[in-house]
Amino acid sequence: MSAEFDVLIIGGGAAGIGAARRLARSGIPVLLLEASARLGGRAWTCEIAGYPLDLGCGWLHSGDRNSWTAIADASGIVLDRREPAWGIQYRDLGFPPAEQNAAKQALAVWRERLSVTPPASDCAADAVAAGSEWNAYLQALSGFISGAELERISATDYIAYDKASTPCNWRAPSGYGALIASSLPLNLAFRPSSPVESVEFAPCGVKVATATGTVQARAAILTVSTAVLAGSTIKLPRALDPWRDAARLLPLGRNEKLYLEIVGGSPFEPETQVLGNPRDAASGAYYIRPFGRPVIECFFGGEGARLVEKRGPVVGFAYAIDQLAALFGSDVRQNLRPLIASSWSRMVRIGGAYSYAVPGHAAARQELARPFEDRLFFAGEATHHYDFSTAHGAYDSGVRAADEAIAALGLPPQARNET
């Protein structure tokens, strides 16, 4: 049986869409298979209470060199290029200036050590100053940035991201998830609600079984998360065990977002931010009235996100409201109503937030990004060796994998020369 398509793309998140856009320009027959009924994966804008709220990615990090910036500009989608309110504790609530300075100093010392005298263990926790009273603060930041505690993350991996990122962090008021999901080329064959059950090698290339039938192609690009790749929902040939091993060394951290609606008169000012408790590793970070909207985005990472995952959104909302009431006064309880909560870790086709490398294994990203022969290519945020954990890193990895597939299949020059 001959191949029906030149290339199959498995997964319609930012990486799959990046690959699709690149391949669509080359004019070769491509089919995108997505398990869910919607596009975007960890990019997901939900229209709630009349507002487009991002449950997954929300910030165009390194906005000045982020591929989604150019895509938004070309589509006439407005970006907000203001600086975020991160790191500015509104009215120093619960975090006096002297303590903020001390905490920021502890952070600077830790980053300097990671960069200049990285620990031989490659464990990010081993660069924390002994006996630092700001350990919980650093753990909370590690949770927000990497989704995991310092003990779990590779210093080399962390620094690679840190060094490559720029200070531009922008937003799409209409939603980052909406921007990504609307960027699939219209002429591309797309099958939603088609979870891939197995991938096999066949004489023509690859044979992929889905819940809605089997498809053959000369090559496939696999873009699922590392949790999915290392898990058991897709049956893969034994020859791919080294890729699954690499995925296990790049687990997904824990991050969840909860949105509270603000009702009635309240002390919450637009575009401000507070850290719930700088001495609590499980603390939430609260972005208040983004774009002036009557909502608070509550962001949990690492230990805080695990609390939400294990005990559920009701406990998560109560925890967030307690933290805000402790800072703004208990009257604000009457102004806050739960709106919506993410549950990334519990979604079987996702399984967490974004990848981090375990100590000693930053090179697993390059291992995961290697093609298998000339027929299976790997993309997804975890395969990017410095823009991992982001939607633009995912996109660029998809373009890279598509270029590899085009070169490997010996496709016509117009396919290869496109940029």
Ligand X SMILES: Cc1cc2nc3c(=O)[nH]c(=O)nc-3n(C[C@H](O)[C@H](O)[C@H](O)COP(=O)(O)OP(=O)(O)OC[C@H]3O[C@@H](n4cnc5c(N)ncnc54)[C@H](O)[C@@H]3O)c2cc1C
Closer CB to ligand X, residue 159 or residue 228?
Answer: 228
Stretch that binds ligand X, among 29-37, 114-122, 156-164, 407-415 (CB under 6 A): 29-37
Instruction: Tell me: does residue 22 bind ligand X (CB under 6 A).
Output: no
Count the residues in the chain. Answer: 419
Closer CB to ligand X, residue 41 or residue 302?
Answer: 41
Q: Which residue in 76, 68, 43, 58 sits closest to 291, CA to CA? A: 58
Helix (H, G, I), strand (E, B) or coil at 16: helix
Instruction: Tell me: does residue 67 bind ligand X (CB under 6 A).
Output: no
Contact pick of 21, 22, 61, 400 for ligand X (by CB under 6 A) = 61
Instruction: Tell me: does residue 389 bind ligand X (CB under 6 A).
Output: yes
CB of 387 to ligand X, least distance (A): 8
Instruction: Tell me: does residue 196 bind ligand X (CB under 6 A).
Output: yes
Instruction: Tell me: does residue 228 bind ligand X (CB under 6 A).
Output: yes
CB of 16 to ligand X, least distance (A): 6
* CB neighbourhood size of 2 (10 A): 8
CB of 24 to ligand X, least distance (A): 17
Closer CB to ligand X, residue 381 or residue 404?
Answer: 381
Instruction: Compose the 234-273 pattern: x for residues touching ligand X by CB under 6 A, - for all others.
Output: x--------------------x-x----------------
Instruction: Tell me: does residue 13 bind ligand X (CB under 6 A).
Output: yes
User: CB–CB of 344/56 below 8 Å?
Assistant: yes
Closer CB to ligand X, residue 110 or residue 300?
Answer: 300
Q: Which residue in 286, 403, 333 sits closest to 23, CA to CA? A: 403
Helix (H, G, I), strand (E, B) or coil at 293: coil
Instruction: Tell me: does residue 390 bind ligand X (CB under 6 A).
Output: yes
User: CB–CB of 376/222 below 8 Å?
Assistant: yes
Stretch that binds ligand X, among 98-106, 308-316, 369-377, 385-393 (CB under 6 A): 385-393
User: CB–CB of 234/50 below 8 Å?
Assistant: no
User: CB–CB of 138/128 below 8 Å?
Assistant: yes
Strand-by-strand arrangement of the 336-341 sheet = 272-275, 285-288, 295-301, 255-262, 336-341
- Single-letter amino acid, residue 235: K
* CB neighbourhood size of 222 (10 A): 28
CA distances to 114, 234, 268, 377, 391 from 205, in Å: 44, 18, 58, 12, 29
What are the φ and ψ backbone dihedral angles of 297, each rounded to 5 degrees? Answer: -90, 115
Instruction: Compose the 80-109 pattern: x for residues touching ligand X by CB under 6 A, - for all others.
Output: ------------------------------
Rounded Cα distance between 155 and 351, Å, is 24
Binding site for ligand X (CB under 6 A): 10-16, 33-36, 41-43, 56-59, 61, 195-196, 223-225, 228, 233-234, 255, 257, 342, 344, 349-350, 353-354, 380-381, 389-392, 394
